[in-house]
Amino acid sequence: MRTKYTEESTISRNNDYIIIHQGNVVTEVETVQASIVIHQGLIEQLITSKDHLENWLLEHPEAQIIEAAGHYVLPGLIDIHCDAIEKEVQPRPNTLFPLELSLLEFERKLPLHGITTMYHSLSLGVGLSLRGVHLMTELVQLIHRYNTERGIVRNRVHLRFEVSYHAGLPIVEQYIRENFIHYLSYMDHSPGQGQYRAPGSFEKYVMKNQGVTSDEVKTIVDELIERKNEVDWDHLKELALLANTRNIAVASHDDDTNEKIDQAVQSGVTVSEFPITLEVAQYATKRGMKVCVGAPNVVRGASHDNNLKAVEAIQHGAAHILCSDYHPSSILQAIFKLANDEVLPLHESTKLATLYPAEAMKISHQFGSIAVGKAADIIIVDHFHQIPFVQTTLVNGVNVYQSNPFIQC
């Protein structure tokens, strides 16, 4: 099977020559009209000269030609934080679908959004349905088993650990030591800080999502605060440093003070996900962290929680990574919106969802840009009424998605 994974979770490569012909290629430094030669799943060369292109085509008459004239050609998108698979498993409360079916169906959607590497965000310690221990661990095991059999995109595991869930510490350590996760973030969703700084915001969220009364939510809050006060921060630091030795990136989450950034940096944390204010995002950048913001925030123009506006952080050089958060189609839209609104040139906005997340995840030597020697993870993008959409997606040179719109009569 041409798309089968090896044990190292690398998608198999196409041995034939492929040439993506005359597209507007978005490289790390510019957008240039070029053709991309792909061989054995890798980018072999970029051809910008017309004479060179003609000679190459004469020398390789067997090559598969993918026409890209008039279209943009981008690296495949790398999404380091997305919990949308949870909605695939549980589209409505109390309606769980089989996990393997859900993974297959969700994965099929990713290439049409241009996502070629997905870090599925799975929560440990929140305790609600899919975010409970049983289903979360089943999904982790399923993704690893699936990766040994086939794949349409690279499916990786982003473990989101709720720091107040003390019983989960052995699971985190096991997953780090056994290389079952590729990215780890520490979350604190307790009231009075982070995402729930505003008084009563946590209580409102829990009452809405769990259907509990005000008396019941008070008990939940009291128990959560008690567990929060017992967090073993030294143990968490040890696990973060252990993850670093295994090449697993570690992130903090919803940072709302500079002190939290200092604590994170001292613990080996290198990514700050969704800082609450511009000041904190700027401070995280100053301390050398990569700041991750949500693409839906860019597309909508605001945070759904009325926190930091992602575009503002990008304009101030305090955001380096775009993730889909909960809405996979938003990344491509955000890239082009930033370019169309002249916030960034297209090659710079593209790096927010390709090269920079690859660097943060320590995989930029293989992925994240259209460059010789890197994997041929490539998307061809067309537009309809100024809305970008993916026409073709290649992963390791394998065409995993093709769209051919037609006019209805």
For residue 319, give the nearest of 278, 286, 291, 297 by alpha carbon. 291
In whole angstroms, give the CA distance from residue 309 to residue 295: 11
347, two tokens? 């090659």
- In this prediction, residue 132 carries a pLDDT of 64
d(CA 72, CA 302): 27
Which contiguous run of DSSP H or E holds residue 56?
A: helix 50-59
First-to-last C-alpha distance (Å) of the chain: 38
169-177 vs 233-245: helix crossing angle, rounded to 10: 10
b/e map 360-388, b = 16+ CB within 10 Å: bbebbeebbbbeeebbbbbbbbbeeeeeb
Asked whether the beta carbons of 164 and 188 are under 8 A apart, the reply is yes
Q: Which residues of the chain are modeled with pLDDT < 50?
A: 1-10
- Residue 375 DSSP one-character state: B
How much is the pLDDT for 382? 97
Neighbouring residues of 120: CB distance < 8 A, sequence distance ≥ 6:
82, 83, 85, 139, 143, 155, 156, 157, 158
pLDDT digits (tens, 9 = 90+) for 70-129: 999 999 999 999 999 999 999 987 889 999 999 999 999 999 999 999 999 999 987 555
Q: What are the pLDDT digits (tens) for 146-183?
A: 999 999 999 999 999 999 898 899 999 999 999 999 99
Confidence at residue 378, expressed as pLDDT on a 0 to 100 scale? 98
Helix, strand, or coil (residue 141):
helix
Residue 321 neighbours by CB distance under 10 Å? 29
Which token pair is 174?
Answer: 């096991």
- Phi-psi sector, 325: left (phi>0), alpha (psi -120 to 50), beta: left
Q: What backbone torsions phi and psi does residue 32 show, to the nearest 5 degrees?
A: -140, 145
Rounded to whole angstroms, how far apart are CA atoms 310 and 292?
9
Tell me, what's the pLDDT at 345? Answer: 98
pLDDT on residue 241: 95
